[in-house]
Amino acid sequence: MAKLAPSTPNQDPEMVYRLPLVGKGGKNRRRGKNENESEKRELVFKEDGQEYAQVIKMLGNGRLEAMCFDGVKRLCHIRGKLRKKVWINTSDIILVGLRDYQDNKADVILKYNADEARSLKAYGELPEHAKINETDTFGPGDDDEIQFDDIGDDDEDIDDI
């Protein structure tokens, strides 16, 4: 054990020892990530006033830009229950609640994981062009068909270099 200098002049320097730390850390120790991914939850379908969407861009401050599958791009607000608990990324499939008074804004109700999104697509709830678990969020035919020209001779020998 490490020896410390005596706290008072009358104590013998050989008798003072550092006590071992007994605590387990502060409040951050209790904030560990609790994984509940393994248990299955019931698949939630959309109701009136709700729409499926795919996240296009994270804007920060609890907001994101999403392309709803009804063809409208909306600014979405992540509600308090999901904030800091459910992490939403670009190209995730979400369920949004539409606003009666603002058509271009919505509120995020639920984030679907990849398995749930595949199930929704299999049930026909999501359109066929919806891409799941991919970073590219464009629809069909949006890709720039890039063609490369073959420049140079493929028959080059390594000894000629």
Q: Is residue 55 part of a domain?
A: yes
- Please count the structural domains in the chain: 1
User: Is residue 109 domain-resident?
Assistant: yes
CATH no. for residue 82? Answer: 2.40.50.140
Q: Largest alpha-carbon pair distance within the chain?
A: 90
pLDDT digits (tens, 9 = 90+) for 59-81: 989 999 999 999 999 999 998 88
Q: What confidence tens digit (pLDDT) does each residue in 31-46 have?
A: 665 565 556 889 999 9
Residue 6 included in any domain: no
The answer on pLDDT for 135 being more than 80 is no
Which residue range is the domain that position 72 belongs to? Answer: 50-123
